[in-house]
Structure 1
Amino acid sequence: MAGAAGLSHKTIYGGEGKNTYLLETTGCGVAFFDYDNDGWLDLFVVNGSRLEGFPPGQEPINHLYKNNRDGTFTDVTVKAGLVHSGWGQGVSIGDYDNDGFEDLFITYWGKNVLYHNNGDGTFTNVSEKAGVAGSHTRWGTGCAFLDYDRDGHLDLFVANYIDFDLKTAPLPESGPCLFKGVQVACGPPGLPGAKNILYHNNGDGTFSDVSEKAGITRANGTYGLGVLTADFDNDGWPDIYVANDSQPSALYHNNHDGTFTDIGISAGCAYSQDGKPQAGMGVTAADYDCDGWLDIFKTNFSEDTSSLYHNTGQGVFDDVSFAAGLGLNTRYLGWGCGFIDLDNDGWPDIFAANGHIYPEIKRLTLDIRYAEPKIVYYNLGNGRFRDISKELGGAILDPVSSRGCAFGDFDNDGDVDIVVNPVNDYPQLLRCDSATGHHWLKVRTLGTKSNRSGIGARIKCVTGNHQQVDEVRSGGGYTSQSDLRVHFGLGQALKADRLEVRWPSGQVDVAENVAADRVVYVQEGKGIVKGP
């Protein structure tokens, strides 16, 4: 329904029939966020480029679509001051200066861009002034705002993929880079991995690169893609997970002193179930079994399964991909992903967007396709999932080469909708119209001592004997940003018996007997307050 909704611009990324370099394969992210604080989710769609370039004035640009509150959107990119072209990659949202308006960060192959939200419908590019543009060309991918030191100011983590230079990259069709016997773009193995960056927010509108000091820089770099921030050990401090391509993924544990330790291997969430590195793409988290600990879902390259890491609560994860019923789909190449409760029954389901990176395979008769369907796994509530993609049909099975996707209730009807950003195609807006009659609750956090966005706040929602936990999170999935409002399905319950918000500052706010089917605004230190 994207066309009818007004999402009228095609996402351009690399060649349509052939990709010369790996640069042309990774695609773009997308964001749901309420840039004007009117209570309705707007859309930001990242765009890319092509090697041959474009005539002046015809370059693809990112697009900001304002929600018209009637199921349609209006392109306000020019008015908002967001006209920018280049090889766009990832996007994340957060109010880095605590002025009450969500700011916008975009990664590029090139220099990254930070837009300050002016609060009047316009944005200002403050990248250089803030110190986050980078001093040279980098291949930024996943990104996320987080308050890693809990000082009330949002810091910024940026994953980087490859130290890529067109002048030194392997010449097209000059090497042994084959897929199913077809000559394809080389990499990432054989190309130099890039180093991730952690920026500390100085509280004055500027950031400092503290990557070395914080211990998140590997000597040889990594092929970082998806970024996820979450408190995995329930100690009140945000950790960082990075899905790496063709290398072990990383879990940076927060040491509470401004430093991190990569415990991915010892924690059991760096490799596949048989102990091999995977080509990780997107990553998301939720407490899918409602035991109080956040678990991890990661998408991977084709001819592999997606990974589901169950958090045991003992500092380790168990790879339960096969035991949970996720081991059957091996031909798809996964990208964007998310845990979402599609039917509001109180158990998070899984959505994954797929698409291959080699358009050359469109010319061949193979079991693997370039354009692929999405997958939806339904949570059975017993630790297992069931693939219901064919039952849903429609746009779920519509094959495109997807990359980023984001989740949010754009029509405020109580269920979670999905936007997908494909390669060389138009965005797909998938509206969820749940007919179960189940109830729901959304929580929007307003920090005071903590960061204004409430990013990192952990929310517990209790209905009867059923307890759900989730966090306010920036970034996640594959280079994308979902609604900052935390959504809970309540099933048949007409209220949440207890709603608890634990803020990054340590403040805990509790509300009881919270009526269902509405958005509640929770202000740090005051509890539920009136929204816009």
Structure 2
Amino acid sequence: MKKFSLHLFLIFFIVLIASCSKGVNKKKFSLLSSNNSGINFNNTLIENDTLNYFTYPYIYMGGGVSTGDINNDDLVDIYFTGNMVENKLYLNKGNMEFEDISNFSGIEGDNRWYTGSTMIDINNDGLLDIYCSVGGKFSPKNNELYINNGDKTFTESAKEYGIDDIGNSVQATFFDYDKDGDLDLYVANYPPTPFDAPNAYYYYKMQNVKDEESDNLYRNDNGVFTKVTDEAGLRSYGLTLSATIGDINNDSYPDIFVSNDFSSPDYMYINNQDGTFSDIIKESTSQTSFYGMGADIADFNNDFNLDYIQVDMDARDNRRSKANMASMNVDLFWSTVNYGFHYQYMHNTLQLNRGVFNGNKPFFSNVSRLSGISSTDWSWGPLFADFDNDGWKDIFISNGTRREINHRDYFNELKLRPMAKDSLLYYSQNIPSEPISNFIFKNNTDLSFSDVTKDWGLDLKNFSNGTAYADLDNDGDLEIIVNNIDQEAQIFENNSSHNYIKIKLKGSELNPFGIGARVFVKSNDLNQMQEMTLSRGFQSSVSPEFHFGLSNNTSIDLISIEWPNGNYYELINPGINQMITLDIKDSYSNKKTNIKAEDNLLFVSEKIVEHKHIENDYNDYDKEVLLPHQNSKLGPGIATGDINGDGLDDIVIGGAKDQPTSFYFQLTNGKFRNKSYGFSKEDSAYEDMDIILFDADNDGDNDCYIVSGGNEFDIDSPYLIDRFYINDGKGNLFKSANSIPDNSTSGMRVSANDFDKDGDLDLFVGGRVVPGNYPLPAESKLLINESDSKQVKFINADNSIFPFSDIGLVSSSVWTDYNNDSWDDLIVVGEWMPIKFYKNIQGTFIEDESFIDSDSTNGWWYDIVSEDFDNDGDMDLVVGNLGNNYKYQASSDETFDIYYNDFDENQSGDIVLSYYNDGD
């Protein structure tokens, strides 16, 4: 008996160890073998003499994925599109096993170049149909619609429904844009365009849009579709790679975000609620991606505003970046801006919805650098979804190009050799090819994401394009499905364990799956919102059901839904870890959800002066190619103060080179009028970096000091000398040439203080950069006020008072008594420098390195403010650094550095920037 017990204990102990070991080693995702799943679809490309990169450069865009339950057995099925192979439909048989019913079902297609696909119930019979987009080099290019017959077979019917669009289509999305209850259709088209087309080409095309080149909107008129692109104001030219739907301004009408490739601008179409749309991309965003690829819309920070992600081609790896990224083309960038195509940058954008401003327009902030997802290589399809069921949406991004068509070395070599027509296939097949990993990022709940690709088991290298997600095994977590080129499609099984709730919708007769509905889930401190839209990412669509992770929460307080028709419904305390169905028949009108978005509006923008800054045309990179940023565009300075003695603050705005300084006097009604001074025009050749209004001569009115600077002048240019203007007491300013020293230095900031306690204000003028010689700092100066009743006079402090002219690339300064000795000290911040403290010892200064560990404060500082913020009687400091929403990142362990030397020995200084790449 004892012997048996011992064996039983040993067996139990061994099993326990094995179980624990399995749990520890198991990744978040596991790749299913095609032998087990039955899914062996392979989007194989066979290049030939007539179809290769040189004859059709869009050959490597790949195919899409759609997920949905086509036979209503509560198991999600999968559809893949192929470019040169037949499309495939796999029926989910349960237990992660699938049956290929493509030939039987009649959805394989013909010899068309199939791109995107969307599952949608277009005829309102409760069965999901399939709409396929068609592109490619050869005709026919008509899109196709496969109607579900209810017996696992489909009938192609696009022409009968009026949606056999003939554009070079990439994807399509269904939504009820006119709120008449039925689903309309937007088709995204990518007209073939030379890769080296100049902006003038795009501009011409945008002014002369052909029918087959535009995206198209089709209105559903009782089951037959009518093209209403022109009537809706949507005729446009763009190399569209995705069109994503979402109510981004919370007015209950669906809007459209269109992601376009190359210089062709993206479009953000706000629904005007009258059947038309208006593009507000330049008003609602400060920048977009350049090579705009796939996009997705969702509320990733749980504030009930829809955000969006747009991916691009910026390599995360330094080697691949240098091998594939084209040389920085500043001229192209500014040409794109000047043509009105917006500010476009070659990296992913993660646009955080900040709320609605100025009427009905949302405003977005690009936080992709801050979030850590800006650079993911040649990316195609981004997806927001809660892959770990913690209640926060993560991001999956599909990656890879079958051949690296931007490989600089390869194509530079080709330019040196003649290419015969019969050799194009050879050269196409020899373009370098390197499979790369997809990416998945975990949401950290603070606007940042962590790259968990390897930790979660998704670090396999592929050529991936379309991608979708679905709970394929009904265990409450989302699997990932990927369509690859020249490799089998992949199914990644999700092994998450947190709690969840899944929701299906039973909508109206004309919208049975509730497209456009919003569902809110409140569970303890988790508040989430999702909107039903199916076409997501790139050339793909997801199953029409909601999935909400609940983390470790064991209950749900409230689920509420806003139906597209305006009705509402609330479900209190439903159970967790189940699929529930919300039926529109249970809804009611005139009551809104109890879960509300917070009002984040702190300030309201109001235009008070008619002023536009006009920056002069100067390209710093012509002389300094490796600059991290332009130094000629750091202005203008702005100052406020009462100039004319009426008790109202006036405004002074500096000008760029060749733009006069502007003066605006405030009126009693709060408006401003422009005040013209003769010297403004004469002094327009200067670059106004900073301005201060202060009483220099103690006569009771404000005089004006303007700091001159910039990077476009010669080192000893007279246009680098600051200017001083005396107020006559009546608001008239006169330039005083002899009041200040002729310091020819490129300045940045000025601050005033009576540091020597003699009763008048002295000035510290921080120098920025020696023109054309970044990062060499310009001289900084302390100007002592020696004015008397006869003249205003400032002189340079000598080294016995302030021996610190070579401070650094100064950005800002502040005077404050940080050591409480009754003498105001000077604190200076700048670029590539620590926060510097200059202690005032009764009118002379020493650098104080004991107050703070200067080595720990190295940064790119831009501003500093001193105030007693905690009301404890001493002065506190707020110092503004570059922040994390920037291309280069730095920490105490992985620093960002700059080296300056004449490396090529051509009598001119050069810079080298260095940063860590994945720890190296």
1:149 counterpart letter in structure 2: D
Greater C-alpha Rg: 2
2:508 counterpart letter in structure 1: T
Structure-1 residue corresponding to 2:308: 296
* Residue in structure 2 matching 1:212, options 219, 230, 249: 230
Contact 2:382 2:396 in 1 (8 A): yes
* Residue in structure 2 matching 1:524, options 570, 584, 593: 584
* Residue in structure 1 matching 2:190, options 161, 166, 175: 161
Structure-1 residue corresponding to 2:467: 405
1:373 counterpart letter in structure 2: S
Query: Against the structure 1 CA distance between its residues 14 and 479, is the aligned structure 2 distance closer, same or farther, given a 3 Å change threshold?
Result: farther
Between the aligned partners of 2:407 and 2:104, the Cα distance in structure 1 is 39
Structure-2 residue corresponding to 1:486: 546
SS in 2 for 1:487: strand
Structure-1 residue corresponding to 2:914: none
SS in 2 for 1:515: coil
Matched ranges for 1:489-528 at <5 A: 489-526=549-586
Structure-2 residue corresponding to 1:318: 365
Asked if 1:47 corresponds to 2:82, the answer is yes
* Residue in structure 2 matching 1:115, options 119, 122, 146: 146
Give the deviation of 1:494 after TM superposition.
2.0
SS in 2 for 1:78: helix
Structure-2 residue corresponding to 1:338: 383
Residues 467-498 of structure 1, C-alpha deviation per residue, up to 9 Å, x if partnerless? 10011112111010112111100111223211
2:261 counterpart letter in structure 1: D
Query: Against the structure 1 CA distance between its residues 188 and 431, is the aligned structure 2 distance closer, same or farther, given a 3 Å change threshold?
Result: farther
Contact 2:504 2:546 in 1 (8 A): yes
286-295 or 189-198: bigger deviation: 189-198
Q: Which has the higher contact order (CA 8 A, sep 6+)?
A: 1
* Residue in structure 1 matching 2:53, options 19, 24, 33: 19
Structure-2 residue corresponding to 1:372: 436
Query: Against the structure 1 CA distance between its residues 286 and 360, is the aligned structure 2 distance closer, same or farther, given a 3 Å change threshold?
Result: closer
Structure-1 residue corresponding to 2:176: 147
300-309 or 114-123: bigger deviation: 300-309
Contact 1:45 1:421 in 2 (8 A): yes
* Residue in structure 2 matching 1:87, options 113, 119, 122: 113
Residues 37-80 of structure 1, C-alpha deviation per residue, up to 9 Å, x if partnerless? 1110000000112xxxxxxxxxx210110001121100111221
* Residue in structure 1 matching 2:164, options 130, 133, 151: 133
2:158 counterpart letter in structure 1: S
The unaligned stretches of length 5 or more in structure 1 are 50-59, 165-169, 171-176, 178-185, 528-532
Structure-1 residue corresponding to 2:705: none
Give the deviation of 1:290 after TM superposition.
0.6
RMSD over aligned Cα atoms: 2.4
Between the aligned partners of 1:337 and 1:253, the Cα distance in structure 2 is 22
Structure-1 residue corresponding to 2:67: 32
Report the TM-score, using the length of structure 2 for normalisation: 0.50
Give the deviation of 1:19 after TM superposition.
2.1
Structure-1 residue corresponding to 2:351: 309
Give the deviation of 1:92 after TM superposition.
1.1
Query: Against the structure 1 CA distance between its residues 95 and 505, is the aligned structure 2 distance closer, same or farther, given a 3 Å change threshold?
Result: same
Residues 19-49 of structure 1, C-alpha deviation per residue, up to 9 Å, x if partnerless? 2312312111101110011110000000112
Between the aligned partners of 1:398 and 1:465, the Cα distance in structure 2 is 36
2:576 counterpart letter in structure 1: A
2:252 counterpart letter in structure 1: G
Structure-2 residue corresponding to 1:349: 394
Give the deviation of 1:342 after TM superposition.
1.4
Contact 1:509 1:525 in 2 (8 A): no
2:565 counterpart letter in structure 1: S
Give the deviation of 1:9 after TM superposition.
2.7
SS in 1 for 2:160: helix
Between the aligned partners of 1:487 and 1:227, the Cα distance in structure 2 is 22
Between the aligned partners of 1:419 and 1:433, the Cα distance in structure 2 is 15
Report the TM-score, using the length of structure 1 for normalisation: 0.86
Structure-2 residue corresponding to 1:416: 478
* Residue in structure 2 matching 1:197, options 201, 211, 216: 216
* Residue in structure 1 matching 2:530, options 470, 475, 480: 470
Between the aligned partners of 1:37 and 1:157, the Cα distance in structure 2 is 26
Percent identity over the alignment is: 31
Structure-2 residue corresponding to 1:181: none
Give the deviation of 1:233 after TM superposition.
1.0
The unaligned stretches of length 5 or more in structure 2 are 1-31, 136-140, 207-212, 316-345, 357-361, 412-431, 588-920
Give the deviation of 1:457 after TM superposition.
0.5
Matched ranges for 1:270-285 at <5 A: 271-272=287-288, 278-285=290-297
Give the deviation of 1:419 after TM superposition.
0.4
* Residue in structure 2 matching 1:71, options 96, 109, 122: 96
Contact 2:118 2:541 in 1 (8 A): yes
SS in 2 for 1:431: strand
Contact 1:19 1:359 in 2 (8 A): no
309-318 or 114-123: bigger deviation: 114-123
Asked if 1:229 corresponds to 2:258, the answer is no
Structure-1 residue corresponding to 2:456: 392
Give the deviation of 1:511 after TM superposition.
0.6
Give the deviation of 1:356 after TM superposition.
2.1
Asked if 1:250 corresponds to 2:281, the answer is no
Contact 1:14 1:24 in 2 (8 A): no
Q: How many residues align?
A: 482
1:433 counterpart letter in structure 2: N
Structure-2 residue corresponding to 1:265: 282
Residues 314-349 of structure 1, C-alpha deviation per residue, up to 9 Å, x if partnerless? 21100111122223x35x111111111111110111
Contact 1:95 1:154 in 2 (8 A): no
2:273 counterpart letter in structure 1: H
Give the deviation of 1:426 after TM superposition.
1.3
